[in-house]
Amino acid sequence: MNVSEQQKKIAVLGAPIEIGASQHGTLMGPDALRTAGLLTLLEGLGFAVEDHGNLTVDGVAALDDTPPDNSKHYREIQRWIRTISARAYDLARSGAIPIFVGGDHSLSMGSINGVARHCREQGKELFVMWLDAHADYNTPATTITGNMHGMSAAFLCGEEGLDGLLGNEPRAPIDSSRLELFGTRSIDKLEKDLVRLRRISVADMRKIDEFGVSVLIRRVIDKVKAVDGVLHLSFDIDFLDPEVAPGVGTMVPGGATYREAHLIMELLNDSGIVHSLDIVELNPFLDERGRTARSVVELIGSLFGQQITDRPTPTNAM
């Protein structure tokens, strides 16, 4: 990530939330990525890294709104999302690049909301790239499972159904035209209808096979740069093929290869548009001797500028 010296600060925040998904184990994700060397790698790339530890919602008061139907563990997730959103806003304001380490993908309802709130105050257009096998664009009205990690993207785009989730914490939805679903290969019928209705950009695996990741990623980069925007990368590890990343709870065959994923990260680094990041759905309980965690750390290295050979920095990069 080609950033100025003033921006060479990274704030890492763990959000060990697992109740938004159907399998236990993602609460161990933040510490597994630390153990795999995430912080050491970033420091070796010249960043000043501040580890803010893992969030807890112990002592956070529950609200008294009526939980919507088909939203499992709504009250507990509400405590998490309110807490994460407030911390995300503060970290974005600090000038550091915030990295939110999970935990399941429901954490993005808080992390991206906080970042979006800051971007709105700065007059910056925030785009979100959803690297994920799933669209996560369900609502309580469309969901089959009721698992809230599958509602994250819809919530971020202001869809109805979880309107009381943030309580008094300001909600800052992004326009659906600013959401980029990338690597999608599993989507429910009603969810697909809603994505089509909103005309959300979807680069599914068929499109990736046909055009290649470089063409499709550059289209996203050009779209963001055209309005001098910034990008939040929400990286669900099940975006990767299970052969590369077995340590996830919702494996879907046919995902991105190790090399395709590195190219995505390298191109985003060259562009300089990524200003915040989620890493979600790592389940060390399902991993094979830390293989998934190590692969993810290597990919984050590429996102932040690690190179095999020195390449000239693009003149238009930050």
Residues with catalytic roles: 105, 132, 134, 136, 149, 236, 238, 281
Closest CA to 276 of 124, 169, 52, 116: 116
Closest CA to 260 of 278, 246, 245: 245
Side chain identity at 144, as an amino acid letter?
I
Task: Compute the distance between CA of residue 36 and CA of residue 82 in angstroms, rounded to an integer.
Answer: 29
Burial annotation 9-20 (CB, 10 A radius, 16+ → b, else e): bbbbbbbbbbbb
> By three-state DSSP, how is residue 135 classified?
coil
Peptide bond into 103 cis (omega under 30): yes
**In degrees to the nearest 10, what's the CA dihedral of 3, 232, 27, 114?**
100
Closest CA to 276 of 112, 86, 46: 112
End-to-end Cα distance, the chain:
8
Residue with tokens 């994923």: 261
Task: Compute the distance between CA of residue 129 and CA of residue 201 in angstroms, rounded to an integer.
Answer: 10
Task: Compute the distance between CA of residue 277 and CA of residue 286 in angstroms, rounded to an integer.
Answer: 23
Residue 54 to residues 6, 57, 114, 152, 276: CA-CA distances in angstroms? 25, 10, 17, 21, 17
Strand 201-204's sheet: what is its strand order? 48-54, 9-15, 97-102, 274-280, 230-236, 126-131, 179-184, 201-204
Chain centroid, CA 34 distance in Å: 17
Task: Compute the distance between CA of residue 163 and CA of residue 67 in angstroms, rounded to an integer.
Answer: 10
